[in-house]
Structure 1
Amino acid sequence: MTSVISNASTTRNFPRFPPELWLSIFSLATNVPGLLSCDGPTPSDLPRPIVKENEQRLLRESLITKRNIILVCRTWHALATELLYRSVLVTRPATLSSLLVALDRRSSGAAHPAHVGWWTRRLDVLIQDDRCEASDYSLLANVIRRFPNLSIVTLSMPMLPYNDCWLRQLPTSVVMALAESCGPSLRVFDCSESILRPCRKDLMKLIAAAPNLSVLRCPICSPSAGDKFPSTRLDVPVMTNLLSVSLMSVFLRDYLPEDRDANHFPALRQLTYDCIPPPFLDHTWKNFVKLSCANVTTVHLDFPLQGDSLQKELDLLSECCRSLNDLVVYLRSWTEIKPNLSLPPSVSYLGLYSKLLKTPAFHFKQLFTALRTMSGSKLKTVRLLHADTVEDLQENWSLLANELADITSCITFRVEENEGHPLLT
């Protein structure tokens, strides 16, 4: 006798998978380590434009995965919507209007009683178009007002039509939307790569509204009429939680408090600054560094000048930054590293980056000569941060063998390639 087993008799009722586990799986699948941290991304020694490019790539990849997840079924859509809106990336003005419509529609839907913008922690507006219309910035301000819990904001904005190329002011409506909507939650504000930037008055209002700000990258403020009258300028708020700031020595005036002998950055631990003449070792800059950077442990120095004046910058850091441990210097090429440099005595790690992409052999020769004669009482590690350093060395190995042998025999510190592996063995 042949028994017939129907499909119905073999059907099994599997236990329902807990939604909490789905959420954990979705979170692991779309996680971008460090980019949603309240203290901002993990600090990198690479130049900021390179770091931003990598962050944008990771955010795009994560966003694609999130979109694929919510399209699987209604259940996954409902569970993963929070993850979808946790980080928002805008790269074209045309997406602003559709984003605003989506935010307003979802905020009133029965399935989503809470505004989905409530979940957003990071906003990157990285628009590469030559110009935006004034209406685009109004839309951006309205979008920002839907995000009350933003922690990280990165803006890279093109010019407004007919805007003064000298002023280059980010519309006040955008800055005020940040200050009024998410000031208390804001931890990172970055417009260091933007053509448009806040005027000083707007930036001071934003800082005052953001007492928990820990990372500030706005080295240049757009000039405004009020800057011509110091008596009407807003004073720099005391920023008790600011850990990292990016400055340009020649534009320091934007960050000077009324009391030039007061320290308004008491928690500062990381300083990034560009050396741009004229002069970058004047009394005001030196006094500011001495007052505000005494406890700084990390300095990133963008040095676009001839290497003959680099020692002056190192002397300034030696005198004013007694707690300095990590020093990173961005140079035009390895030829700007001169022999007999004296590092700040507290520095144990030195990162070096050459902006020249393809390094010829004679550049390496000058670099190795400089390393062989460099002095630093606590120096333990020198890392060459350019990703192609090893490849460039291999191509020129026959021309550099003697220099490599000389430096290996006389240096007391470790020389590393960009990933931290020994470069000289």
Structure 2
Amino acid sequence: MTLAISNDSTACNLPCFPPELWITIFNLATDIPGLLSYDGPTPFDLPRPLVKEHEHRLLKESLITKRNIILVCKTWHTLAINILYRSVLVTRPATLSSLLVALGRRSSGAARSVHVGWWTRRLDVLIHDDRCEAPDYALLANIIRQFPNLSTVNLSMPMLPDNDSWLRQLPESVIMALAESCGSSLRVFDCSESILRPCREDLMKLIAAAKNLSVLRCPICSPSARDRSPSARLDMPVMTKLQSLSLMSVFLRDYLPDDRNANHFPALRKLTYDCIPPPFLDHTWKRFMRLSCANVTTVHLDYSLQAECLQKELDLLGECCLSLNDLVVYIRSWTEINLNLTLPPSVSYLGLHSKLRKAPAFHFKQLFAALRTISGLELKIVRLLHADAVEDLRANHWALLESELADSSCITFRIEDNEGHCLMT
């Protein structure tokens, strides 16, 4: 920098920054590691709704920074417009029309010949407006067709006005837009929190086109008339790249191939499922787990049955998931952790999440009594995942915590808080 001083004024001649440096600065200022470029299964152990809430808060904050950057001057607008559209967040149907118009604009700079949608890698559609109409979904399908390089798609969609409350089918146009426009680039598809979801046949078309899909969270498919016709049933594709899958055992049939003895998930390493297996599906669920989950290393189990049934689930995992290392269990309260539980022998990390933000003292007594009697050959760490529960324990039950852990000779593993620190610190 050079500074020229005169009697009347002070002039400052700033150096000309290379555009590449500005772009690097913009990337650093707006980047959200792990959200805008997908590299593998998410490391978060919290329940998916809480993870998504955290992700969307970060996306909104990043979007505010991006908008501020492009409003500084024309040069910054030109340099940062591609960064602005790297992730797209839709929360209101009213914005769909203006978004589609904006996506029709051409990029500037070296890539002037492409639309700004070419740069988009992540799409989150979180619409909670009950007045979402059929034309809104047509607009959404057209918007998706502007994104040929999407890698992550999260959908949470409201009911259509004339949609059957049981069918709750996501319009086929939205799913086919994904399959035809960005199937080859898609790595994550998540509609686990959506009221509307694809029917099985539409989902099969999508994942058949998404050969590189790594994470699939669609535990419930919407039923459709085509599902009742065996001749119209598409076979489950072999998903050679799929590493993470979310299921509900009661809806397992949607993911079963025609050959029930075949493993169509050879790369599966992470399984998330709700523990609601009805007796008539026990055998099918067990066979699926034995075939497809032998190499699974991480299981997230959303448990909502009676406490005495939890050991049955642990035994099933121990029998079928021979490579299981990380086990995370979501429960309604600490009282669902019974005494003398036996973990799968290969588990070294156990994450526990109680859905109660605050619990009475006897709940924590039940928890620590269970931890003193739990059995796990390789167990090294037990982590309490709910930040509010940890804060409540430390703030309101510290004397109980000290007394329960005063004699830890029978505990051979480390008990951690939600951030991975020793619980007593």
Aligned to 1:257: 257
Counterpart residue identity of residue 325, structure 1: N
> Shift of the alpha carbon at 1:279?
2.8
Counterpart residue identity of residue 118, structure 1: W
User: Alpha-carbon deviations, 1:4-54, whole Å to 9, x = none?
Assistant: 93668x746443100000001000000111101223673200000000000
- Unmatched tracts of structure 1, length 5 or more: none
Contact 1:268–1:292 under 8 Å retained in 2: yes
Contact 1:39–1:188 under 8 Å retained in 2: no
Aligned to 2:98: 98
Aligned to 1:228: 228
Contact 2:307–2:337 under 8 Å retained in 1: yes
Spell out the pairing of 1:8-157 with structure 2 (5 A cutoff).
Answer: 11=11, 13-39=13-39, 42-106=42-106, 112-157=112-157
Q: Is 1:307 equivalent to 2:298 in the alignment?
A: no
Aligned to 1:297: 297
Aligned to 1:328: 328
Q: Is 1:363 equivalent to 2:363 in the alignment?
A: yes
Give the TM-score taking structure 1 as reference length: 0.95
SS in 1 for 2:104: helix
> How many angstroms apart in 1 are the aligned matches of 2:328 and 2:280?
18
- Unmatched tracts of structure 2, length 5 or more: none
Distance 1:345 1:12, change over 3 A: same
Contact 2:311–2:342 under 8 Å retained in 1: yes
User: Alpha-carbon deviations, 1:93-113, whole Å to 9, x = none?
Assistant: 000000001111446999943
Aligned to 2:279: 279
> How many angstroms apart in 2 are the aligned matches of 1:302 and 1:218?
15
> How many angstroms apart in 2 are the aligned matches of 1:7 and 1:184?
63
Distance 1:110 1:325, change over 3 A: closer
Distance 1:414 1:111, change over 3 A: closer
> Shift of the alpha carbon at 1:119?
0.3
SS in 2 for 1:137: helix
Counterpart residue identity of residue 406, structure 2: A
Distance 1:280 1:363, change over 3 A: farther
Q: Is 1:339 equivalent to 2:339 in the alignment?
A: yes
Aligned to 1:396: 397
Contact 2:78–2:108 under 8 Å retained in 1: no
> How many angstroms apart in 2 are the aligned matches of 1:168 and 1:5?
73
> Shift of the alpha carbon at 1:307?
1.1
SS in 2 for 1:388: helix
SS in 2 for 1:410: coil
Aligned to 1:242: 242
User: Alpha-carbon deviations, 1:52-92, whole Å to 9, x = none?
Assistant: 00000000000000000000000000000010000000000
SS in 1 for 2:409: helix
Contact 1:361–1:400 under 8 Å retained in 2: no
Counterpart residue identity of residue 383, structure 1: R
Contact 2:41–2:215 under 8 Å retained in 1: no
User: Alpha-carbon deviations, 1:232-265, whole Å to 9, x = none?
Assistant: 2000000000000000000000000000000000
> How many angstroms apart in 2 are the aligned matches of 1:108 and 1:199?
40
Contact 1:120–1:149 under 8 Å retained in 2: yes
Distance 1:133 1:40, change over 3 A: farther
How many equivalent pairs are there? 420
> How many angstroms apart in 2 are the aligned matches of 1:180 and 1:72?
37
Contact 1:35–1:41 under 8 Å retained in 2: no
SS in 2 for 1:257: coil
Distance 1:82 1:364, change over 3 A: same
Percent same amino acid at aligned positions?
79
Aligned to 2:406: 405
Counterpart residue identity of residue 422, structure 1: C
> How many angstroms apart in 2 are the aligned matches of 1:107 and 1:77?
11
Counterpart residue identity of residue 300, structure 1: H
User: Alpha-carbon deviations, 1:289-315, whole Å to 9, x = none?
Assistant: 000011000000000111110001100
> How many angstroms apart in 1 are the aligned matches of 2:12 and 2:309?
77
Q: Is 1:161 equivalent to 2:161 in the alignment?
A: yes
Aligned to 2:415: 415
Contact 1:108–1:115 under 8 Å retained in 2: no
> How many angstroms apart in 2 are the aligned matches of 1:191 and 1:7?
65
